[in-house]
Chains A and B, each alone.
Chain A
């Protein structure tokens, strides 16, 4: 699977929007972009995924660049419970696994 690049850490203030970037310049046309997060002492939690168009769900929004070489996970109003490691993962059409990188550690300040 193609690689992704994320910042090691980010900080946000509570109740403000958070934009978590992910670069994937070698993405192929059939690669899905998946986002997961992992809270302390828990397994990863599915957040959102998309292919070409922007996606919204109750947890977050996913904005995908027109050339698909980057994407941004948007948390509209960060809460303290959103403090976690966020993983951006590409999954090709044949992928039967998720390949996790080191992710972005999000700290939410009260």
Chain B
């Protein structure tokens, strides 16, 4: 079956701009999570959506937002980009939460560079 698809793979933006990243989960998966990975902070949780509702949010400023559509596809948006937002953004899909013993399938990520 098809894996988690993230688009675009690479993106270069200028400070102050905004960006939208897209994630298509595995068919049948209703949970979609987003993570930011940087060399200094490692993998950090951004937010999680389940059936179009945000169930959980990490410790990121309000410039980071997301949404999930009825087909489970998800987008995340970062407004007023800062140099520190340069990172690999990863999307993961799952049937349910890991606390119930479900594993995540991650996409290959979107590499965002802010200049």
Contacts and interface: CB of A to CB of B under 8 A. Distances in A.
B109 A43 contact: yes
B28 interface: no
B107 interface: yes
A95 B96 CA distance: 10
Interface in A68-110: 87, 89, 91-102
Contacts of A45: 106
A34 B98 contact: yes
Contacts of B55: 96
B81 interface: no
Chain B, interface size category, equals 20 to 34
A49 B48 CA distance: 20
B58 interface: yes
A49 B90 contact: no
B103 A34 contact: yes
Identify whether the interface residues of A are mostly helix, strand, loop, or mixed: loop
B58 A42 contact: no
B98 A91 contact: yes
B56 A97 contact: yes
B21 interface: no
A20 B51 CA distance: 36
B106 A44 contact: yes
A32 B101 contact: yes
Given A43-B90, A96-B55, A98-B45, A32 B106 contact: no
Contacts of A91: 97-99
Contact of B100 (A46, A93, A100): A93
A102 B9 CA distance: 24
Interface of B: 4, 31, 33, 35, 42-45, 48, 50, 55-56, 58, 90, 92, 97-101, 103-109
Given A43-B106, A94-B97, 5 more contacts: A32-B101, A43-B90, A44-B90, A44-B92, A46-B104
